[in-house]
A = this chain, B = another copy of it.
Amino acid sequence: MAWTSNRICQTLGIALPIVQAPMAGSDSPDMTAAVSEAGGLGSLACAMLSPEHVEEAAAYIRSKTKNPINLNFFCHNPPKADAGRDTRWREEISAYFAEFGIAPDAQSAVANRAPFDDALCAVVEAVRPHVVSFHFGLPEAGLLDRVKSTGAIVMSSATTVAEAVWLEQNGCDIVIAQGAEAGGHRGMFLSDDIATQAGTLALVPQIVDAVDVPVIASGGIGDARGIAAAFMLGADGVQLGTAYLKCPEARLNPLHARALPSARDDNTALTNVFTGRPARGIMNRLMRDLGPMSDIAPDFPTAGKALAPLRVRAESQGRDDFTNLWAGQAAHLSPSFPAGELTHILMAQARARLKSF
């Protein structure tokens, strides 16, 4: 089967059915452009960017490639103010403040993680990207209608069959099946129970059976073997995140970049201590001490705000004790190449593997 007859390639107008996962705080316009120019779908995570930044970044990407690109947004419900919970969380981490000689009431600037709203939607209407993807469900119907009116293909992540069915019923054009192996934030939005989250191998075929829209497999895909496996499972395409973290185009926190080569099959975990939502990262001190899952961590994304002064101080000392080191369970498998080359190599190897039997 040639990729040209692939449903994802046809729907998105791309040459290779591979999506570079949006990674808030770690991807870059150069990465997006390189992947799209190589024939895959480059994504730019916009959750931590201002509307002006998104517009600027999109213009830059467009100057580098005329191929389809994906702008990605979070669509979580903004956290409810809960002073009691915030106080309890500050108490939970107060010993660290003392240890690092930081005043208990210290504050540090923290990158916002804003949900998709009118201002960001206006940017989408101006930029008109070929694809818009969401994490944590879909935005409210009014905003979604505006996005779809631009002609954009809409994608979102499902961590269960129920979420996939919900996404399809609510207007999502392509479902990304996100297995538990995936690095970064789980896209879960109908459940918050990580104990019942399924691995990619089990999840993908069950989602494929449950929806009519194309399905992209993600989570634990680190090399061509994982890509080939995803197609055997019935996926129409693949999304890789951690693999692209090793590209020179990644804009990684230096401590994150330093930690990445240490990622193994058995040293990442889902944790909510950095942001309040479950996300997979390399085990470090904060995860070991307070989690990896904590009942006390306040709602996304406020857990991170309280940690910010601690993180800044520790990082200035070269310590990643309080830094989120997002990585998936297959991080160790991925080779390091420029993003465009990586896209070509992985898909060529996967194709050869698929034809080898």
Contact = CB atoms under 8 A, between A and B. Distances in A.
A265 interface: yes
How many chain copies does the complex carry? 2
Given A219-B201, A226-B233, A266 B196 contact: yes
Interface residues of A, number: 55
Contacts of A209: 333
B199 A181 contact: yes
Contact of A203 (B162, B197, B329): B329
A230 interface: yes
A225 interface: yes
Interface stretch (A57-65, A267-275, A302-310): A267-275
Contact of A330 (B162, B205, B292): B205
Nearest to A328: B202
A21 to B, nearest CB: 15
Given A226-B233, A266-B162, A353-B232, A181 B196 contact: no
Interface string A255-292: 00000000011111110000000000001000000001
Contact of A266 (B197, B221, B270): B197
Contact of A265 (B1, B160, B233, B332): B160
A131 interface: no
Interface string A313-338: 00000000000000011101100000
A213 interface: no
Given A201-B201, A202-B333, A229-B233, 18 more contacts: A1-B356, A162-B266, A180-B199, A195-B269, A195-B270, A198-B266, A199-B199, A201-B226, A201-B229, A202-B219, A205-B226, A205-B330, A206-B330, A206-B332, A225-B234, A229-B229, A232-B354, A354-B357
